[in-house]
Amino acid sequence: MTVSTSMQLEHDHQRSLGEQLGFAAGSVIGRDHTRGRRNNQDAVAIEIADERWVLVVADGCGSGRGSEVGARLGSAFVASHFAERGFSAGIDAFEPALLGYLSQVAVAFGSGAKRARGIADHLLFTFLAVVVEPSRTRVLGVGDGVVIHDSTRSVLTSGLENTPSYAAYDLLSPEDLVGVGSTPWARPVLHADVPTASLSVIGVATDGASVLAESANDPLAMICESARRSRNPYVVQRRLVALAERGPRMSDDTTIALVWRTSCT
């Protein structure tokens, strides 16, 4: 039986998101970091509630000595913020909240040059987030990565010189910014805003997944289909490990988080 969009929307509103959707995430270290004996500088954070799901991936700056710290803290904050408050206040309320949180973390680095060095080494990261609510699903973020929406792959870049504008740049003085060769961060961008009832699959990935998005055999489609069929939260991790061993060359850390509809009828 075919269900009309209006009937489907009414039916979905009678069920919690947990009854409608599934999720999975995974992360693998890139070959360049493996050879250099460096940590995976990506992170993923997921917050699941009855009426709000938030999935966040973050990518620490490759030149930071411990930027995985900021990626983990940042992704956890973004997920918690939207899980608690939703998207109703929009990006305008989120920006000062994130910068306020990072400023509190930066207190641990001390002041002056030590503070600037601590921020540069630990708090520079990009992020992409999926915020799922009963009526609308949004994707927002700062910096590069990949947005997955059904069969569409949107590869977000950081320009020709691969220089993302990180949130924590806003905590640095003009003199410090000259040292890192950048300018204050760009505002978070809303990349997608779609009816939740129309979702098939939506997700976000760090920029390491761009090689998968641009591959002719579309391994991201395989990952999405495997996740939807198995409904196992570890299936994305297993697929990424297999691709890292036998698939396209994945030189950068790669992290993917997906949400999909479990049933449309």
Q: What is the pLDDT along the chain (265 residues), one digit of tens a residue?
A: 333 333 333 444 456 787 889 999 999 998 877 776 778 999 999 999 878 999 999 999 988 889 999 999 999 999 999 999 999 888 889 999 999 999 999 999 999 999 999 999 999 999 999 999 999 999 999 999 999 999 899 999 876 566 777 889 889 887 777 656 555 567 889 999 999 999 999 999 999 999 999 888 889 999 999 988 887 888 999 999 999 888 667 889 999 999 999 864 4
Q: Is 84 in contact with 95 (CB distance < 8 Å)?
A: no
Q: The pTM is what?
A: 0.89
Query: Tokens in use for 231?
Result: 């409904």
Q: Looking at domain 5-261, does it have CATH number 3.60.150.10?
A: no
Find the angle CA(127)-CA(205)-CA(140) to the nearest 5 degrees: 45
The residues, any chain, with a CB within 8 Å of residue 75's CB and separated by 6 or more, are 43, 44, 45, 56, 57, 58, 125, 127
Asked if 145 and 34 touch (Cβ cutoff 8 Å), the reply is no
Half-sphere exposure of 177 (CA within 13 A, CB side): 15
10 Å CB burial of residue 181 (0-12, 13-18, 19+) is exposed
Residue 8: its pLDDT value, please?
Answer: 37
Residues 6+ apart with CB under 8 A from 245: none
Q: Which two tokens stand for residue 87?
A: 């998207």
- Residue 126: predicted pLDDT: 94
Distance CA(159)–CA(179), nearest Å, equals 19
pLDDT of residue 263: 65
Quick one: which of 53, 194, 204 has its CA closest to 135? Answer: 194
What is the spatial distance between Cα 15 and Cα 210, in angstroms, rounded to a whole number?
Answer: 35
Alpha helices by DSSP H, the chain: 5-13, 17-20, 31-35, 67-85, 90-106, 112-122, 174-180, 210-213, 219-230, 235-246
Q: Measure the CA–CA gap between 256 and 243, rounded to whole angstroms.
A: 13
Would you give the end-to-end CA distance of the chain in angstroms?
A: 8
